[in-house]
Amino acid sequence: MRSFAGFVSPDEFRKSRSAIVAKYLYDNLRRISRFSPTGFRSGKKFEDLGEKKKRFWVEYSSGIADKLMSFDLFLRPFSDYCRTCIITDEEMEALVSNDLDKFARDSPATDNNLFFPELNHLIPASLREAGLEIIRQLELDAVEESLLVRIARVVHAGYLSETARQTPVSSLVERSLMKGFDDLSHEILQSNIDFAVHLPTRLLAIGYRIRPVRKGYKSRVLHLDEYEVETMAKVEHLRWSWEKRINGWTYGKVKDVRKKAHPDLVPYGELSENEKEKDRALVRLTPALLRDIRYEAYPVAPGKISRLSYAVKPRSSIHKLLDGINELSAGIGPLAENTPSIRAKLTSIDEKIKLSISEVQGSYNYARHIQEAFLPDALDIRECFPESFILYEPKDIISGDFYLFNRHNGKVVFALADCTGHGIPAALISTIGYGILDQTVNILRVTDPAEALNNLFMGIHRFLRKDKAGSGASDDMAIVLGSFDLNTNILSFTGVCNMVFHVTGGKISDNLSGISHENYHNNDRYDFAVKSLRLDPGDKLYISSDGFSDQFGGGNHQRYTRKRLREFLLKISNNPMPEQGDLLYEEFERWRDEKNRDEDQTDDITIIGISI
């Protein structure tokens, strides 16, 4: 089980916090039940409940930490400000259905379908009262805490400052961080701070992190397109909703300050256009806000945030097609206004296209899910090489690249393969390839690179070409396969295309990978040349498929080239390994979108970096 410094483990929570949270939950629900249908009613205070009735509440709340953890949400005590993260509507639905499976029979409610959603919406507020905030694990390294107060100050000073007019900003912010939670003007202040501290969250939703602008550098200017504004507006609404709820607000048909009821505590989609526009206007200020705090946004690899529930999913070419269709139908719509038969036909075609696209996309997404399930995850890789990174970006949701890491008997065997083409055909071959290589390395424990590669190619040959006369498997896959001896620091590897670079003593090698082995195939055996390399502590090894170097861009439809990649790798080779992955992605984005050309991704991209 994973744990983080300062976090409350589920056991700890059960032992020392859940009883009080049970009481707060009960009290909160009882309070809102007076004016809002919650499927629950009780005249008694928590303290006056019989043991039997109390039991549901205690049992329910003792499972809260476990339940949240299954969504990568962790509990942490806060001192002055509760930074609870946003929880999406989809996650709430999952939490509710989880409850219905577990507690429906023992629930004290008259209507479980009202009761459990209300209960779940009250959890963050009740935790807050117990001194706990909810932190999303994926946000941890993206959000630097010392920065948050600074952002809050700037927000106050420049953008949302009505309440701060007469008082010096800094003292207001500090006071608001210290003071209790009972007075309303304080709540408005608090709201501004909450808006500010979630700036990194909103940017993460569209694939950006932030960092200080380095001295002497010109900062990157963030341009938000409508799609990004809309995504951030949704997240902002979610943020606002949670901020309200954490302060005890709930949904009500009309706004009522005394009852703490608000009509806008609904999903973003149900807001009026006017309200949505307010959210959009707020998030459009983001680039200006960044400039004021001397921070800049830089792109994160979509692969890194694919598990972040509120983040934009990787934009595939399918997605862009859908955008095109939407634009087209918005344009044609008015033209067909006066001809009902054409308009009807248009609507029906439009719906069919959207349905087909969403089906294709759904099936791609599920395929990606499968691919992610079999590929080693970041932890597996760090077990083999603690100092390492992997940049893995499919061109269209699923990838024809795959990689493998295995540590056994003092040896690490690893591989990076690039199957011919991209998309579905390449992903199919990569699945077969991964299966055979996994069998070879993880079950048969083959550690000799040439032997392992021979096994792999013979296996693929058997699968794909039953005839002997075929031209061999060489055209299906480019691969680098290495075996690193942890005792002697000797790397032996063999490569068929792809790239291998070795950085040592401030210099980078030429590409060390071999070429296609077509000529060496004879008598049902491939002979691969194995190279040996001694890796000294501090040396770096980079392995790459050709997707990065073949990327078109540079404002002039030029390929990035291996030469540039080699030089760039050398340039960043002294940075911490995980950061190098980020820098590579940023460089890729810069090249792809230079002069706003927005070139499509050319091919699947994978780069592995290892520090010895």
Partner 1 sequence: MDKLIIDPTVFTPKVILDHEEHFMEIGGESRPQDVREFYHPVVEWMNDYSQRLLDSDDIRDPVVINFNFNYFNSGSAKCILDICKILAKLRSREIDAFARWHYEKGDDDMLEAGREIARIVNLPFEFIESEMR
Binding track over 512-531 against partner 1, x by CB under 8 A: ---xx-xx------------
Report the 10 Å Cβ neighbour count for 508: 18
Give the one residue of 351, 475, 567, 579 binding partner 1; rule: CB under 8 A.
475
Give the one residue of 222, 235, 460, 478 binding partner 1; rule: CB under 8 A.
478
Nearer Cβ to partner 1, position 119 or 417? 417
User: Which run of H or E residues covers position 288?
Assistant: helix 286-292
Does 418 engage in binding with partner 1 (CB under 8 A)?
A: yes
- Which span sits near partner 1 by CB under 8 A: 126-134, 347-355, 546-554, 586-594? 546-554
The residues, ordered by sequence, that sit 6+ positions from 41 with a Cβ below 8 Å of its Cβ are 33, 110
Nearer Cβ to partner 1, position 230 or 546? 546
DSSP-derived 3-state class of residue 312 = coil
Q: What amino acid is encoded at 600 in this protein?
A: D
Cα dihedral 513, 519, 523, 525 in deg (nearest 10): 10
Least gap, CB of 128 to partner 1 (angstroms):
52
> Do the bridges between strand 208-212 and strand 552-553 make them parallel or antiparallel, or are there none, so unpaired?
unpaired
Does 509 engage in binding with partner 1 (CB under 8 A)?
A: no
Does 559 engage in binding with partner 1 (CB under 8 A)?
A: yes
Least gap, CB of 56 to partner 1 (angstroms):
57
- Which span sits near partner 1 by CB under 8 A: 58-66, 130-138, 335-343, 556-564? 556-564
Give the ranges where 465-576 is alpha helix by DSSP (H): 562-572
Give the one residue of 302, 423, 554, 581 binding partner 1; rule: CB under 8 A.
423
Give the one residue of 401, 546, 582, 587 binding partner 1; rule: CB under 8 A.
546
Question: DSSP secondary-structure letter at 492?
Answer: E
Does 603 engage in binding with partner 1 (CB under 8 A)?
A: yes
Does 561 engage in binding with partner 1 (CB under 8 A)?
A: yes
Residue-by-residue DSSP string for 435-449: HHHHIIIIIS----H
- Which span sits near partner 1 by CB under 8 A: 10-18, 25-33, 272-280, 417-425? 417-425
Question: DSSP secondary-structure letter at 199?
Answer: H
Nearer Cβ to partner 1, position 143 or 478? 478
Identify whether the C-beta of residue 306 lies closer than 8 Å to the C-beta of residue 314: yes
Place of tokens 């950061």: 579
Does 602 engage in binding with partner 1 (CB under 8 A)?
A: yes
Nearer Cβ to partner 1, position 124 or 553? 553
Residue-by-residue DSSP string for 165-226: SSS-HHHHHHHHHHS-S--HHHHHHHHHHHHHHTHHHHHHHTTEEEEEPPTTPPPPPP---H
Write out the two tokens for 461: 């040959």
Nearer Cβ to partner 1, position 236 or 603? 603
Nearer Cβ to partner 1, position 545 or 611? 545
Does 420 engage in binding with partner 1 (CB under 8 A)?
A: yes
- Which span sits near partner 1 by CB under 8 A: 296-304, 414-422, 521-529, 531-539? 414-422
Write out the two tokens for 459: 């296996």
Classify residue 508 as left (phi > 0), alpha (psi -120 to 50) or beta. Answer: beta
Instruction: Quote the CA–CA distance of 259 and 56 in Å, as a whole number.
Output: 27
Write out the two tokens for 392: 């893995």
Instruction: Work out the end-to-end distance of the chain between its first and last CA atoms, rounded to an integer number of angstroms.
Output: 27
Question: DSSP secondary-structure letter at 559?
Answer: E
Does 421 engage in binding with partner 1 (CB under 8 A)?
A: yes
Does 108 engage in binding with partner 1 (CB under 8 A)?
A: no
Least gap, CB of 419 to partner 1 (angstroms):
8
Least gap, CB of 562 to partner 1 (angstroms):
5
Does 494 engage in binding with partner 1 (CB under 8 A)?
A: no
Does 562 engage in binding with partner 1 (CB under 8 A)?
A: yes
- Which span sits near partner 1 by CB under 8 A: 155-163, 222-230, 297-305, 549-557? 549-557
- Which span sits near partner 1 by CB under 8 A: 195-203, 208-216, 354-362, 547-555? 547-555
Output phi, psi for 93, to 5 deg: -60, -45
Give the one residue of 41, 352, 563, 571 binding partner 1; rule: CB under 8 A.
563
- Which span sits near partner 1 by CB under 8 A: 14-22, 30-38, 523-531, 548-556? 548-556
Nearer Cβ to partner 1, position 169 or 424? 424
Write out the two tokens for 537: 């502590």
- Which span sits near partner 1 by CB under 8 A: 95-103, 155-163, 177-185, 415-423? 415-423
Does 398 engage in binding with partner 1 (CB under 8 A)?
A: no
Least gap, CB of 563 to partner 1 (angstroms):
6
Least gap, CB of 547 to partner 1 (angstroms):
10
Nearer Cβ to partner 1, position 349 or 464? 464
Least gap, CB of 507 to partner 1 (angstroms):
19
Write out the two tokens for 477: 């896959």
Nearer Cβ to partner 1, position 20 or 424? 424
Instruction: Quote the CA–CA distance of 585 and 547 in Å, as a whole number.
Output: 12
Does 510 engage in binding with partner 1 (CB under 8 A)?
A: no
Nearer Cβ to partner 1, position 230 or 603? 603
Q: What amino acid is encoded at 197 in this protein?
A: V
DSSP-derived 3-state class of residue 499 = strand
Report the 10 Å Cβ neighbour count for 162: 8
Residues binding partner 1: what is the number (CB under 8 A)?
22
- Using alpha carbons, select from 432, 533, 525, 520 the residue that is nearest to residue 482: 533
Cα 320 to Cα 278, 330, 382, 425, 554: the distances in Å are 27, 15, 35, 21, 21
Give the one residue of 432, 552, 593, 597 binding partner 1; rule: CB under 8 A.
552
Instruction: Quote the CA–CA distance of 48 and 43 in Å, as a whole number.
Output: 10
Write out the two tokens for 300: 């994160």
Does 549 engage in binding with partner 1 (CB under 8 A)?
A: yes
Exposure of 315 by Cβ count < 10 A (0-12 exposed, 13-18 middle, 19+ buried)? Answer: middle
Give the one residue of 550, 586, 593, 594 binding partner 1; rule: CB under 8 A.
550
Residue-by-residue DSSP string for 39-67: S----S-GGGS-HHHHHHHHHHHHTHHHH
Binding site for partner 1 (CB under 8 A): 418, 420-423, 475, 478, 497, 515-516, 518-519, 546, 549-550, 552, 559, 561-563, 602-603
